[in-house]
Amino acid sequence: MKILVVDDEKRIVEIVKAYLEREGYQVIAAYDGKTGLELARRQSPDLIVLDLMLPGVSGWDVCRILRKESEVPIIMLTARDEVTDKIIGLEMGADDYLTKPFDPKELVSRVRAILRRAEGKVTHGKALNVADLSIDVEKREVRRGDAAIELTPLEFDLLRVMAENPGRVYSRMQLLDKVQGDAYQGYERTIDSHIKNLRKKIEIDPEHPRYIITVYGIGYKMEGK
C-alpha cells in the first residue's frame, strides 16, 4: 500500500518513512502543501499523513481540497495540543490526528487501523437497512435509493456500528472504542466532529437529523424508523 507523508520537517519525514517502510508500506513524500496536493492527485495514495502547518498551501487547505475530490484516509499532524485545532481538522474530513512530538510506533499503529477499516476486513453481515438507507457491509457502500453516498472509512464504521443496533444509545467513548479500537487514546469529544460530517452526508436536513439522534448528556443512537 502507498502512503503519502506531507511535512516540511525533513527529519520527521525521514523517521516516519523509515518506520512505515519497515512495515512494508511504500512511502512517497512532500515538503509543502502544493506538492503534497499534486502528489495526492497524481499518485492516488491509500492514506495521507498530513502536517497542518505547511509553507504555502496549508495542511488545512490541502485537507479541505482533497475532501472535495477524494475519500482517501487522512491522519493529520498538529504541533499544538489544542482541542480546537483537532476538532477543526476532523470537521474538515481528517480521519485521525497525532500531536507533535509523537511516537512513530503510535503512528504506524494508527495507519494500520485506518487501512484495515478502509479495506473492510471486518464485516458483520452483508446488508443493513435503516429507514431508506441501504448499507452494504461487505462492499462498504451506502445508498439512498439509487444514489450512492460517499463516506470515509471512519464515517462508514460509525454508521455501521449504530445501524447494527438501531435504538441503542452509544456513549462517545463506546463509539471511539468500536471504530478506533480499545487502545486508542483520543479525545472523546472528537467523535462529535465525525458525527457532524456523517450527518452532512446522510441527512436530508443535518440540522434536524432523522437517522442519527443526539441523546443529550450521553451520546448518540440510530433511529430505525
CATH number at residue 43: 3.40.50.2300
Q: List 78's β-bridge partners, or say none.
A: 99
Q: Are residues 13 and 115 in the same domain?
A: yes
Q: Are residues 6 and 95 in the same domain?
A: yes
Q: Which of 99, 119, 139 represents a domain boundary (last residue)?
A: 119
Please check the confidence at residue 120 and state whether its pLDDT lies above 70.
no
pLDDT over 70, % of the chain? 88
More confident: 134 or 89 = 134
The H-or-E segment that residue 2 falls in is: strand 2-6
Q: Are residues 115 and 133 in the same domain?
A: no
Q: Are residues 19 and 112 in the same domain?
A: yes
pLDDT at 121: 46
141 to 63, 104, 157: CA distances (angstroms): 23, 32, 11
pLDDT at 119: 64
Question: With bands split at pLDDT 50, 70 and 90, how would you rate the model's confidence at 189?
Answer: low
Residues in the chain: 225
Least confident of 45-54, 85-94, 102-111: 85-94
Mean pLDDT for 166-176 is 83
Least confident of 66-70, 117-121, 130-134, 171-175: 117-121
Q: List 220's β-bridge partners, or say none.
A: 170, 214
Dist CA 100 CA 85 (whole Å): 13
Dist CA 214 CA 190 (whole Å): 15
Q: Is there a cis peptide before residue 104, judged by omega within 30 degrees of 0?
A: no
Q: Are residues 102 and 47 in the same domain?
A: yes
pLDDT at 123: 44
Dist CA 195 CA 155 (whole Å): 8
Q: Which of 94, 119, 144 represents a domain boundary (last residue)?
A: 119
pLDDT at 48: 96
User: In terms of residue numbers, what domain contains 152?
Assistant: 127-222
Q: Are residues 37 and 77 in the same domain?
A: yes
Query: Cell 511516537 appears where?
Result: 103
8 to 29, 37, 183: CA distances (angstroms): 10, 14, 29
Question: With bands split at pLDDT 50, 70 and 90, how would you rate the model's confidence at 90?
Answer: confident
Q: Which of 96, 119, 142 represents a domain boundary (last residue)?
A: 119
What CATH number should be reported for the domain holding residue 203? 1.10.10.10
More confident: 114 or 117 = 114
Residue 47 near residue 21, CB atoms below 8 Å: no
- pTM equals 0.63
Structural domain total, the chain: 2
Q: Are residues 114 and 135 in the same domain?
A: no
Residue 77 near residue 7, CB atoms below 8 Å: yes
Please check the confidence at residue 183 and state whether its pLDDT lies above 60.
no
Backbone angles phi, psi at 207, to 5 degrees: -75, -20
Question: With bands split at pLDDT 50, 70 and 90, how would you rate the model's confidence at 149?
Answer: very high
Q: Are residues 102 and 172 in the same domain?
A: no
Q: List 148's β-bridge partners, or say none.
A: 143
Query: Cell 439522534 appears where?
Result: 213
* Cell numbers standing for residue 149: 453516498
Dist CA 32 CA 203 (whole Å): 36
